[in-house]
Amino acid sequence: MKKFEDRKKPLIFYYGIMLMILVIFNIFALPYLSQQQIEETDYGTFMKMTENCQIGKVQISDSQIIFTDKGDGTIYTTGLLNDDGLTQRLYASGAEFSGEIVKETSPFLVLLLSWFLPIIIFIAFGQFLSKKIMGKNGPNSMMFNMGKSNAKVYVKSSDGIKFADVAGEDEAKEALSEIVDYLHGPETYEEIGASMPKGILLVGPPGTGKTMLAKAVAGEANVPFFSISGSEFVEMFVGMGASKVRDLFRQAKEKAPCIVFIDEIDTIGKKREGSIGGNDEREQTLNQLLTEMDGFEGNNGVIILAATNRPESLDPALTRPGRFDRRVPVELPDLKGREEILKVHSKKIKLEKSVDFSLIARMASGASGAELANIVNEAALRAVRDKRSVVTQSDLEESIEVVIAGYQKKNAILTDKEKMIVAYHEIGHALVAAKQSHSAPVQKITIVPRTSGALGYTMQVDEGNHYLLSKEELENKIATFTGGRAAEEIAVGSITTGASNDIEQATRIARAMIAMYGMSDDFDMVAMQTVTNQYLGGDASLSCSAETQTEIDRQVVALVKKQHEKALNILKENRRALDKLAKYLYDNETITGEQFMSILDSVEENEDRQN
Ligand code: ADP
Ligand code: ZN
């Protein structure tokens, strides 16, 4: 945006410069150009030169006499005196009378020189500058390119990204390889009368490699790749977006076969509603897009890929057959996918041989491809900071926490009491989880404050891919979330604000169990709420009567309360382990899952022996 402001200044600036050039030129250069050098002299010298026959040419005007030296041709001027015999004497000296010694510069030439030349210079200069300055910003300078599309053309296909560069995402790659196949040999498809889908929608959470996949399709098929973001269509002026769409498709048709990639299509493809004050510009742009998609025939080689992370908000007209009718899910990577992504990105950095990718992948559960790429880069940065030449396992482990929880806050020092409370809180979660599942619940807990605001960080154990959760598992989850607060109550005797996020999560699960999963006693299998935003947090909206809502609330509270009590009981039964683990965490600020389990086991053995 800053560049736009910069661009306005030079225009006024140019006019200033132009005016200055004109003035300077007229004052100094023009007189010099239009007049030859003339020396002034006295009348006596003139008379003497006349006597000595030194005068070459002479011109007598009303106010002065201009004459030349016969020898070296110098031009002199002198005042006019009342000298009667002058003409005779001059004639006698053999001087040449002539009408004109100093050439009067023609007025046309003066005009040309003084006005047009600077303008021509100025324009040439301006052209040069505009090429030099604005050229860098591409052809999207507002002034010169109103309404042209900004679609970037990658002539040599798409940074050379191939499917091999996209780790994991095998299902998505498989779905897209058909497109590549089609672009390689459309004849096979035409022969049988099949036509390719015009539009394919890549849906999934941010950072899962949707853009990369689109580039890879172009890369594999070796065709040009046009890319534009939905937000670039939405312009200040109504109609501009539509004209950009037109322009984009015109360009694409010229370059067919090719891939057109529209990122964040939801910005223009949102459901059109009859609401007052709707976005006219957006609707026009969307209409234009629909028209363009209908306009070209099935087999002209332009394939449109679009990415979004809110597919449910798209206008049905956009997703109907013949438009973006194919949907390719691009999900968060699973354990194997994470490991592969880590490996792909680690190729660029120097790694210690002993690095265990599968452990890192397990630790980074829930991370997207973009986050994993970031983790690898953070690890490399950390190695540089410590002046090491290779990246180690611990670099990678620490950078997981950095990427997910933020940097360690160096100067945020917890008071002893706060640190103790945080230690109890985190151990509370872990202990309740361990007692319910009978296995190590965490990879690691640290109680170093993070820039994200978290006071501690718990790295959960990756439970592998879970597609179904039982009612008991969900209840256990709620109990685990309440475990932090429960530990505070038992050990410290007071409660803190540290549990706000736990409360939110526990409530969310409880509400979903009752209103969505049919896990309550009286609602049977009736859905009281629906998920509206699957890939961005998963907001839910209620759809039931006010009385039912009250009843849902009552049941949610009862459910959470029951689990909270369960957590309190577990911790009370294991009071000694709780104290010992919290003390360990308080002293060391970090505890791994193995250390956790060995302390827990040793405390239990002790208790058994005493009984
Ligand atoms: P999206 O378009 O889904 O938001 P991008 O395609 O822009 O995500 O991915 C952002 C970055 O994350 C990529 O440049 C790449 O470095 C990394 N990345 C994401 N997914 C993968 C993957 N499956 N394999 C390798 N790198 C990935
Ligand atoms: Zn907590």
Average pLDDT score over residue span 317-339? 85
The string of pLDDT tens digits covering residues 105-150 is: 667 777 777 777 777 877 787 777 665 554 444 444 334 444 455 5
Least confidently predicted of 161-165, 354-358, 525-529:
525-529
Catalytic: which of 264, 378, 426, 488? 426
- Position 600 pLDDT exceeds 80: yes
For residue 581, name the pLDDT band (cuts at 50, 70, 90).
very high
pTM score, two decimals? 0.61
Report the C-alpha gap between 196 and 186 in whole angstroms: 9
Tokens 């005797």, residue? 493
Distance of alpha carbon 455 from alpha carbon 453, whole angstroms:
6
Pull the structure tokens for residue 380: 């490399």
Query: Can you say how many angstroms the Cα of residue 171 is from the centroid of all Cα atoms in its chain?
Result: 27
449-458, pLDDT tens digit by residue?
776 667 777 7
The reported pLDDT for the residue numbered 2 is: 38
210 lines ligand 1 (CB under 6 A): yes
Residue 232 appears among annotated catalytic residues: no
How far is 587 from 273, CA to CA, in rounded Å?
A: 59
Span 199-204, average pLDDT: 90
Please tell me the distance from the alpha carbon of residue 6 to that of residue 137, in angstroms, as a whole number: 12
Rounded distance between C-alpha atoms, residue 610 and residue 452, angstroms: 45
Token pair 């190729």: residue: 347
Residue 176 clears pLDDT 80, i.e. is over it: yes
pLDDT at 307: 93
Question: What is the average per-residue pLDDT within 192-206?
Answer: 86
Question: CB of 344 closer than 6 A to ligand 1?
Answer: yes
Q: How far is CA 137 from the centre of its chain?
A: 16
Q: What integer is the mean pLDDT of 250-276?
A: 80
pLDDT value at 570 more than 80: yes
* Torsion angles phi and psi, residue 336, rounded to 5: -65, -45
Return the exposure string of 491-513: e unless at least 16 CB atoms fall within 10 Å of the residue's CB, then b: beeeeeebbeebeeebbbbbbbb
What confidence score (pLDDT) does residue 432 get? 93
**Nearest-CA residue for atom 4 of ligand 1:** 207
Say whether pLDDT at 563 is over 80: yes
Residue 382, both tokens: 């950390």
**What span, in angstroms and rounded, lies between the C-alpha atoms of 437 and 222?**
52
Cα–Cα distance for residue pair 584/581, rounded to 1 Å: 5
| pLDDT at residue number 138 | 40
Supply the residue whose CA is at minimum distance from atom 12 of ligand 1.
370
- Ligand closest to the CA atom of residue 337: 1
What confidence score (pLDDT) does residue 489 get?
A: 94
Residue 449 pLDDT:
75
What does the pLDDT average to over 57-62?
Answer: 78
Banded pLDDT at 409 (limits 50, 70, 90): low
Whether ligand 1 lies within 6 angstroms of the CB of 172 is answered as: no
- Core vs surface per residue 223-249: b (16+ CB within 10 A) or e: bbbbbbbbebbbbeeeebbbbbbbbbb
Is 483:573 a contact under the CB 8 Å cutoff? no
User: Which is more confidently placed, 432 or 54?
Assistant: 432
Q: Report residue 279 as tokens.
A: 């976005």
Q: Which residue has the tokens 């006597």?
A: 51
DSSP 8-state class, residue 95:
P
What is the reported pLDDT for 271? Answer: 74
**Best residue for ligand 1 mutational test, from 165, 201, 210, 212 (most atoms within 8 Å of Cβ):** 212
Distance 429 CA to ligand 2 centre (A): 7
Average pLDDT value over all residues in the chain = 80
